[in-house]
Amino acid sequence: MANECLFCKIAAGEIPAKIVFKDDQVLAFEDSNPQAPFHVLIIPRQHLSTLNDLKTEDRALAGHLIFCAAQIAQVNGHAQDGYRTVFNCNHGAGQSVFHIHLHLLAGRSMTWPPG
Ligand code: 5GP
Ligand code: ZN
């Protein structure tokens, strides 16, 4: 756990969040400022600041985040209509919390390109 990392604190249960899924590797919880009717963040329990910090040994974990997003979308009834998954990496992409998180957005039509 990284000191003063918001998402490490959520993973540790020190800050409350509306959890939608958890296992030994990842945690998924509702975004507190949702950008769609359904907006969940999937995070690794392990602290990694950005995608740039992924190491060879993290490949399975990165894949698991995506697999969990698909499962959560399915379970919550969004697979058929569709959903968007987003990793923002660093300031230029709008990353504001520096603990890797996969956004899962659903429940409305999405536009492209993103802003
Ligand atoms: P980023 O901008 O880094 O890609 O996404 C960070 C996300 O974390 C934002 O969508 C923001 O609303 C969400 N967020 C920030 N602080 C909290 C919090 O304390 N609790 C929850 N559940 N989400 C948060
Ligand atoms: Zn962290």
Regarding beta strands 38-44 and 26-30, do their DSSP bridges make them parallel or antiparallel, or are they unpaired? antiparallel
Token pair for 79: 């697979």
Closest CA to ligand 1's atom 18: 32
Closest CA to ligand 1's atom 17: 32
The pLDDT of residue 115 is 84
The pLDDT of residue 2 is 78
Positions marked active-site: 101
How many domains does the structure of the chain reveal? 1
Q: Is 95 in the pocket of ligand 1 (CB under 6 A)?
A: yes
- Does residue 48 belong to any structural domain of this protein? yes
The pLDDT of residue 75 is 98
Closest ligand relative to 101 C-alpha: 1
The pLDDT of residue 107 is 98
Query: Could you tell me the pTM of the whole model?
Result: 0.97
CATH code where residue 62 lies: 3.30.428.10
**Rg, the chain, Cα only:** 14
Summarised one tens digit per residue, pLDDT across range 54-67 is 999 999 999 999 99
Q: Is 32 in the pocket of ligand 1 (CB under 6 A)?
A: yes
* Rounded-to-integer distance, Cα 4 and Cα 22, Å: 22
- Does residue 113 belong to any structural domain of this protein? no
